[in-house]
Chains A and B, each alone.
Chain A
Amino acid sequence: MASDTSKQQGRPGPEMGHRPPLLSVRELGVALQTRGGNLQLTQNISFEVGAGERVGIVGESGCGKTVTGLALLRLLPARSMQVSGKILLDGTDLLRLPGRQMRAIRGRQVAMIFQEPMSALDPVFTIGQQIGEAIRAHFPVGAREARERAVDVLDRVGIPLPQRRHDEYPHQLSGGMRQRAMIAIALACQPRLLIADEPTTALDVTIQAQIIELLVKLSSEAGTALLFITHDLGVVAETCERVLTMYAGQVVEDAPVEDVLVRPRHPYTSALMRSLPNLSVPKSVLPSIPGRVPNALAMPAGCRFAPRCAHARPACGRAQDALPVGADHRVRCARFDELELPGTAA
């Protein structure tokens, strides 16, 4: 890609032999501003996405994964949400960009797709118009050229009869086709990073399999990095190379998918895997996690998972930083070295 070589200078030197990350998130935090003061929804989120890399963010509802995805593109309402930290795309901090420059990033460098393709598409414009305007927002092309490109991208995402679908409205498409159309809009300008927020959750299993296959294929063909936000560990395992596990507004584990499935280092990651019914002995009692996710108003002072953790010790009452397990594996658990936690394969 042409823009790959730009903006190499002015950043801390990358490790030897490593390609510089495309996206580098540093200490990202999102706070909801309320009458009673700021409510910290997410905190200290740091991770990197390499060019062409596929990274999953997994966690249960309320863990902050969607908020993090929206914060990356600055799509949170500025009025009520305060974002802190750094979001470095090729070394440029997106949080400091003026509005116009941020708009040039959205859709062009970083695109996003959402869970409900029906409500995420404008009902009164045709699929083609919605793709075309994304193209024309970033490239100086005429209507005819935009149409050609739109039909082409519809074809690439596997929509049959792209010429006809181009002129149809979202309600005329099936759920799976709508999500393909969403992907077409997102990929129309060949972005370098695609953020996908639960893109298959609303779909049937066999259609979900199609969309996963498509995303992986398009990502590897075009070298588009993928940030896949989902609650489904299975989807992550089938899609991603690396996974971040989020819990109560923090990343608790960041590791290559294969490593974490075999040997998770955080008790929460392990517990999440153990509670999957399809990997358990039929009719057995499913391991569950006692208690509830803590409320943002009353976060535990130390390790946030400690109150529900089977392995908690008094030392867990202290705030927990992310610790390196290996070169590409970090975990927010003081006891990761002593624990032998089961993964999905156990």
Chain B
Amino acid sequence: MNRRWRMLGERLSQVIPVIVLATIIVFGLLQLVPGDPAMTLAGEQATDERIAEIRHLYGFDKPFLVQYGTWLGHAAQGDLSRSLLSGERVVTLIGQSFPHTLTIVVLALLISLLVGVPLGILAAMRAHTRADTAISALSSVGVAIPNFWLAMILVTYFALGLGWLPATGATPLGESVVGSLRHAILPALALAAGGIAELTRQLRSALLEVLSSQYMRTLRAKGLSETAMICKHGLKNVGVNLLTVIGLLFNRLLGATVVVEAVFAIPGMGSLIVRAAINKDFPVVQGVVLSMVLVVVATNLLIDMLYSVLDPRVK
């Protein structure tokens, strides 16, 4: 246990430079935008005095490093400034949007696992048979389908056509669990198609490799059934691969929500950042990107920790 804590400390110290680098990039985004942000903020008819005033107000007249330092100092205390549009605290906006995004991402991940893992096992157990061929054809389709297109198909049939589920919007989880899930299920399905395909393929090839290993022969020689071999030894041995795939998948789903949220008009992080970017609402853009970076870093950290639980050889 002690070793595990020490490892966590080590990993955290490796993560900090990553976060610092990410914040520099995020903050630098502001400088990369063509034109003068102050001019943009002040509006087209603003006077030079007004622009200068805004420049001073936001600290744009200070050197880059000073601006960055101020921003980082505030961010470290949980203050991500306010939206230029609504004047609301960025932290509040993120707090409202993030649960919606997290709900569909987690749901999509769960669906991917629930469908992808059994399919992957089946494909590996029946490798080179018709079932296997059918599964791999299906996963090729899953990878190839653009998720916004799938999202539109799902809306057309299940929401507009059959009317089983709502077409747009979202309900916070805290308000109504059922309502929240009803809103989240179609976007999650749209996102999960790629995840299912990815998991199936990765699991199949990892399992096939494990199945051809010498210890599988030992297990068979002691009289274990194929089911025990695959579901107990196979899965635990591919656990590390699976975890890696899940980590990557989670990060990718977070990114992919931008498009799907737009289709379903969900007020999540994707919608938030799109709206902010169009309106040059820099504090919001910075805040969203920063929080996404933190989520990704935290996910990776968690997965690194889980490696050592699954594989005794990882120290």
A and B touch in the complex (CB under 8 A): yes
Could you list which residues of chain A lie within 8 angstroms of chain B, going by C-beta atoms?
A: 70, 73, 75, 79, 103-108, 111-112, 114, 116, 119-125, 133-134, 137-138, 169, 171, 182, 185-186, 189
A75-B217, A116-B214 given as contacts; is B312 within 8 A of A123 (CB)?
Answer: yes
When C-beta atoms are compared, the residue in chain A nearest to B312 turns out to be A169
The A-B contact count (CB < 8 A) is 80
Cα-based distance from A69 to B222 in the complex (angstroms):
14
Contact present for B218 and A122 (CB under 8 Å): yes
Decide: B215 and A75 in contact? CB cutoff 8 A: no
Bound Cα distance from A186 to B232, whole angstroms: 19
Query: Given A79-B128, A122-B237, A125-B236, A103–B225 Cβ distance below 8 Å?
Result: yes
For A73, the closest partner residue in chain B by CB is B221
In contact, A133 and B224 (Cβ under 8 angstroms): yes
Residue contact A123 to B215, C-beta cutoff 8 Å:
yes
Assuming the contacts A119-B213, A124-B237, asked whether A137 and B311 have C-beta atoms less than 8 A apart, the reply is no
Contact B214 A169 (CB under 8 A): no
28 residue pairs bridging A and B, Cβ less than 8 Å apart: A73-B221, A75-B217, A75-B221, A103-B223, A103-B224, A104-B223, A106-B221, A107-B222, A108-B223, A112-B221, A114-B214, A114-B218, A119-B214, A120-B215, A120-B218, A122-B237, A124-B233, A124-B310, A124-B313, A125-B236, A133-B222, A133-B224, A133-B232, A137-B228, A138-B223, A169-B312, A189-B222, A189-B223
Partner of B220 from A106, A133, A169, A182 at Cβ < 8 Å: A106
Residues of B near A123 (CB, < 8 A) are 215, 237, 311-313
Is A169 within 8 A of B313, CB to CB?
A: yes
Q: Is B239 an interface residue (CB 8 A)?
A: yes
Instruction: Return the 10 tightest CB-CB contacts between A and B, nearest first.
Output: A107-B222, A107-B223, A106-B223, A134-B222, A119-B214, A112-B221, A169-B312, A122-B215, A137-B223, A120-B218
Q: Which residues of B are found within 8 Å of A121, using beta-carbon distances?
A: 215, 218
Closest to A76 in B: B217
How distant is the Cα of A119 from the Cα of B222 in the complex, in angstroms?
16
Using A114-B218, A122-B218, A125-B236 as known contacts, say yes or no to A137 and B224 having CB atoms under 8 A apart: yes
Q: Are B222 and A106 neighbours in the complex by a CB distance under 8 Å?
A: yes
Q: Which residues of A contact B302 (CB under 8 A)?
A: none
CA distance A121 to B128 in the complex (A): 27
A111 to B232 Cα, complex, angstroms = 21
Which residues on B sit within 8 Å (CB–CB) of A138?
A: 223
Q: How far is the CB of A271 from chain B (nearest CB, A)?
A: 32
Q: Closest Cβ of chain B: how far from A103's Cβ, in Å?
A: 5
List the A residue with the shortest CB-CB distance to B219: A122
Instruction: Provide the bound-state CA to CA distance between A124 and B128, in Å.
Output: 27
Determine how close the nearest CB of chain A comes to the CB of B71; give it in whole angstroms.
Answer: 46
User: Are B313 and A171 in touch, CB under 8 angstroms?
Assistant: yes
Contact B221 A137 (CB under 8 A): no
Contact A111 B224 (CB under 8 A): no
Q: Roughly how many angstroms separate A165 CA and B313 CA in the complex, as a whole number?
A: 16
- A124 to B218, Cβ gap below 8 A? no
Q: Is the CB of A124 within 8 A of B239?
A: yes
B128: A residues at CB distance < 8 A: 79
* Bound complex: CA A105 to CA B313 (Å): 33
Q: How far is the CB of B230 from chain A (nearest CB, A)?
A: 13
